[in-house]
Amino acid sequence: MEYRQLPHGTAQEKFSALGLGMGGIQNSPDAEIESVVRTAIQNGINFFDLCAGGKNVYEPFGRAIAEQREKVFFQLHFGAVYNEKGEYGWSRNLDVIKETFAWELEALGTDYVDFGFLHCVDEDEDFDELISSGIFDYIKKLKEEGKVHHIGFSSHTPSVANRVLDTGVIDMMMFSINPAYDLEQGDELGIGSTSERAALFCRCESMGVGISVMKPFHGGKLLDEKTSPFHTAMTRFQCIQYALDRPGVLAVVPGVRDLKDLNALLGFVDAPEAEKDYSVIGEFTPQAAQGNCVYCNHCQPCPAGIDVGLVNKYYDLALAGDHMAANHYEKLAVKADACIGCGHCDRRCPFHTHQSARMKEIEAYFGKL
């Protein structure tokens, strides 16, 4: 299992790149919910999203982590609430949110949460209401008291996400990332142009804000050629790796319904690189997105030993204002100046990126710093 460090966290806050969402497990028996969480932890998963699809999820989750709380990190959403039947809903009422949080802590058997999230900040009005209702201030107060260790938010909208980031208090953003959304082929939740979304991810990395990924499979549509906007099915492993390769991403948190779903996801950990290769999306990338490196490394192996995807990522981050990108680039054993211009990467790139020319561009850029 790969683990990624939370930039604004402690040395212990390293999260499994493959996380787990609890949004679809509510129809399983309590014993199976508990078993899913325990099995996930036993297999190295330590990062969970607790925007649960039903109230009945919290107590089994709490029992599963009871003796290993310090090993587990989870996101709790302030605004996700439950009715008398235990069904999920959402609210901007501060009193309701306070009552829900108190109940959640009790049900989970803990006195703190790792991430307190502003829930579903998709419109400017959502963010305005979170401020005017006092919910944002409430979460900041909980952080001061140690009941919330980090503040985060979930969103589908780049422009609104940037407003939240402007507050300067965010450590984690949950965002919907998949090839359909990023290539402007998704549904109404795939908001923003390809360039707007890429700029947001780069901004998060440059600010030290981690990204947890929801909807990596486009609600399952990408897994079936009949529902995929590309008319070609992708695999779960391809979608997960695609999301993990975006700048700023710490963890992908696909949802599961039961142990069978979990075991299928766990196959990603030891799957060969060929099964994670998502370069197939180059076949249906819109013209406007052609020529942009997506860091898939389908061009590997480079005869000169350059990690072409990583070199491109550091360059893009530097252009986006990440002051640490140059330092990361300088630590690479093989840099862009090693390019021999053989054209191997140009011929293999499914996105028609002229990498050999780009290596010269990158070499010149970092050489001036």
Helix orientation angle between 30-42 and 259-270, rounded to the nearest 10 degrees: 10
User: Which residues have CB under 8 Å from 141's CB, separation 6+?
Assistant: none
Phi-psi region of 273 (alpha: psi -120 to 50; beta: other; left: phi over 0): alpha
Domain ranges in the chain with CATH number 3.20.20.100: 3-280
- Cβ count near 162 (within 10 Å): 15
Q: Which tokens is 88 given?
A: 């999920």
Nearest CA among 234, 249, 150, 153 for reference residue 197:
249
Query: What span, in angstroms and rounded, lies between the C-alpha atoms of 36 and 33?
Result: 5
> What value does the CA radius of gyration of the chain take, rounded to a whole number of Å?
21
Query: What span, in angstroms and rounded, lies between the C-alpha atoms of 266 and 40?
Result: 8
pLDDT in tens, the chain (369 residues): 999 999 988 888 999 999 999 888 888 899 999 999 999 999 999 999 998 888 899 999 999 999 889 899 999 999 888 888 878 888 889 999 999 999 999 999 999 999 999 998 889 999 999 999 999 999 999 999 999 999 999 999 999 999 999 999 999 999 999 988 887 776 667 777 888 888 899 899 989 999 999 999 988 888 888 888 888 888 999 999 999 999 999 999 999 989 899 999 999 999 998 899 887 777 666 555 566 777 877 777 888 888 888 888 888 778 777 777 787 788 888 888 888 888 888 777 777 788 888 888 888 888 776
Query: What span, in angstroms and rounded, lies between the C-alpha atoms of 94 and 139?
Result: 11
Query: What span, in angstroms and rounded, lies between the C-alpha atoms of 6 and 325?
Result: 16
Q: Could you tell me which CATH number the domain at 3-280 has?
A: 3.20.20.100
Dmax (CA) for the chain in angstroms is 67
User: Which residues have CB under 8 Å from 112's CB, separation 6+?
Assistant: 105, 146, 147, 148, 149
Query: What span, in angstroms and rounded, lies between the C-alpha atoms of 85 and 96?
Result: 16
Query: What span, in angstroms and rounded, lies between the C-alpha atoms of 239 and 219?
Result: 12
Query: What span, in angstroms and rounded, lies between the C-alpha atoms of 265 and 188?
Result: 26
Q: At CA 159, angle to CA 157 and CA 160, rounded to 5?
A: 70
User: Which residues have CB under 8 Å from 336's CB, separation 6+?
Assistant: 306, 311, 359, 360, 362, 363, 366
**pLDDT (0 to 100) of residue 302:** 84
Nearest CA among 263, 271, 272 for reference residue 43:
263
- Cβ count near 128 (within 10 Å): 11
**pLDDT (0 to 100) of residue 299:** 77
DSSP secondary-structure letter at 119? Answer: P
CB 52 within 8 A of CB 36: no
- Cβ count near 146 (within 10 Å): 9
**pLDDT (0 to 100) of residue 11:** 86
- Cβ count near 195 (within 10 Å): 12
**pLDDT (0 to 100) of residue 329:** 82
